[in-house]
Structure 1
Amino acid sequence: METVSTIESLRRQVAAWRSGNERIAFVPTMGNLHVGHLELVKRAREQADRCVVSIFVNPMQFGEGEDFGSYPRTLEADREKLSSVDADLLFTPPVEVVYPPGKTEQTRVEVPGLSDILCGSSRAGHFVGVATVVCKLFNMVQPDLALFGEKDFQQLMVLRRMATDLCFPLEVIGVPTVREKDGLALSSRNGYLTPQERTQAPALYETLKLTSDALMSGERDYDSLEFRAQKRLVAAGFRPDYFTVRRAADLGLPEAGDRNLVILAAAYLGKARLIDNMTAFLPLMEA
């Protein structure tokens, strides 16, 4: 696996693959890779001839007081992991390559509606930072497909909308969340959990599952479901940011007759902010 840090070197290699009519997949990451990231690469290799992975800790998507400075940088370990799953090219651009004029002067990409709710409400500007950097990376790599984990469900929707609205000739593919045996969704920020918090953390997944079971059993009082879920999380030691039931298609509030739903949650446990979700396709109710 080759590692490059300039756009020129990246495009030179991609152009060589294109000349051989090879299909190119792209997996953007911020590094500190875990099994979930490696699953994205494995899926990419199944669907394309070549796989490009980027590692870039994007300063634009971190808010004031967030963990940009302390976010784990583990490049050598990440490189070894990517080699083990046969990634073809690792792109590791420095900040000045991604944002030549500087972060404050950078042209920005915004996806209205989807970007300012849920995580976008509590992390102002986060999804503008995500959409901007991924838009730039799409232009740099020019892949045929890009893969993202479904754990970041709202992010996946934002990026799909961006790719459609800006006419990118690529497919944005969601890959199911990879979990620990106790249900905890894999995340680079799980490393912030203390041993005690790690034993508490699966309560987030358990609460999602209980809410899904209630929906599948016919309960439709969404306010009550959300209140009970947040109460359960507090009892488990979390500080909930939100717990909500939404339409899976657009993250709007569900209405009578909506069947394709998603339950989304974000909650703090110690210094870690954990997010997770679970889809629920409701059965038809008997008349």
Structure 2
Amino acid sequence: MLIFNNKADLRSHLSRYTSKDSSIGFVPTMGALHRGHLSLLEQSVKENTITVISIFVNPTQFNNPDDLKKYPRTLEADVVKIEAISKDIVVFAPSVNEMYDGNAQSVSFSFDGLENQMEGSHRPGHFDGVGTIVKKLFEYVQPTNAYFGEKDFQQLQIVKKLVVKNNIPVNVVGCPITRESNGLAMSSRNQRLTEAEREIASFIYKTLIVAKDQFANNKIDYIKQYVIEAFKARPEFELEYFEIAAEDDLISATLKEDKKYRAFIAVMLSNVRLIDNISLN
């Protein structure tokens, strides 16, 4: 397995896959790989000539320094998991200095308002950091297809907008959420939960399922109030937000229109921030 820490060496290696008969699949991650990441890798391996995975904890997308400090870093274990899928997968694991040339600052982006909703309003500067690093990675890898999980659905829409607004020639592929057996959305942050807390956290998905069941016959305000009250009854959680929004603009909805809707949620459990979402129609 090839592991690159230098972007010039990576670019040199990938230059042989730029013909029209080749395709480069790309899975950008912050490491601490779980089954969800691996499912993206498996899809990419099936659909492309070569697959690249980046493992890089991006400091500019963390608005909470403590969250950045505690984010799990498990490169050696990640490589073992990647090799189990294919030894031909290329790993790009750069340093912060390599990615930012000694100046770890984000660029300001406009994503036509997508960046102001939900995660954007609760994590100032987060999507500037995401846009900055994804744009850099796309420039270095020059992928044909890039794979992102729908657990971070807002991020997925942001990346699609980034590609359109910057004329980046990459096909962004959204992939279904991978869940634990109890329904909890798989996340690298789950590693910070105890086994008991992971079981408790299944309440998040169970609540989303109820919201989905209610969506056909109840008003949006009623569903939102139900979720708020459900979490009030569970003091181990701190509900940060619950929103119902159209998939295209992510603006919090008050009335149902002829659109595709999703329910989005963010909660704190034992100082670990967990997000999830579910399609409603």
Cα deviation code 1:96-116 (max 9, x no counterpart): 111114124x54444241112
Alignment of 1:142 with 2:142, yes or no, is: yes
What's the CA shift for 1:4? Answer: 0.5
Deviations 1:136-194 (A, max 9, x none): 00001000010000000111011111111111111101100000111001000011213
Alignment root-mean-square deviation, CA: 1.5
Identity value in percent: 38
Aligned to 1:197: 197
SS at match of 2:151: coil
Asked if 1:225 corresponds to 2:226, the answer is no
Counterpart position of 1:249: 248
Measured in 2, the distance between the counterparts of 1:204 and 1:42 equals 27
Write out per-residue CA displacement over residues 60-83 of structure 1, whole angstroms, 9 at most, x where no aligned residue. 001134411221111111011111
Aligned to 2:279: 279
Amino acid in structure 2 at the alignment position of 1:231 = E
CA–CA distance in 2 between the matches of 1:112 and 1:60? 21
Paired residues for 1:16-31 under 5 Å: 16-19=16-19, 21-31=21-31
2:252 is matched by which residue type in structure 1?
L
Partners of 1:154 and 1:66 lie apart in 2 by 23
Which consecutive residues of structure 2, in runs of 5 or more, have no partner in the other structure?
none
Residue-by-residue CA offset, 1:21-65 (whole Å, 9 max, x unaligned)? 311110000001011100000011121111000000000001134
> Quick check: 1:263–1:279 contact (8 Å CA) kept in 2?
yes
Structure 1: which amino acid aligns with 2:97?
Answer: E
**Residue of structure 1 equivalent to 2:92:** 91
Which residues of 2 match residues 52-201 of structure 1 at below 5 A?
A: 52-86=52-86, 88-104=89-105, 107-201=107-201
- Between the aligned partners of 1:48 and 1:94, the Cα distance in structure 2 is 27
- Distance in 1, Cα, partners of 2:110 & 2:52: 25
Q: Is the 8 A contact 2:152 2:276 kept in 1?
A: yes
Report the counterpart of residue 284 of structure 1 in structure 2. none
Asked if structure 1 preserves the Cα contact closer than 8 Å seen for 2:107 and 2:128, the reply is: no
2:22, 2:7 → 1: CA distance?
Answer: 19
Name the SS for the 1:167 alignment partner: coil
Q: How many residues align?
A: 278
TM-score w.r.t. the length of structure 2 is 0.94
* Unmatched segments (≥5 aa) in structure 1: 282-287
Query: Partners of 1:128 and 1:277 in 2: how far apart?
Result: 22
Residues 1:171 and 1:210: Cα distance change in structure 2 (over 3 Å): same
Q: TM-score, normalised by structure 1?
A: 0.93
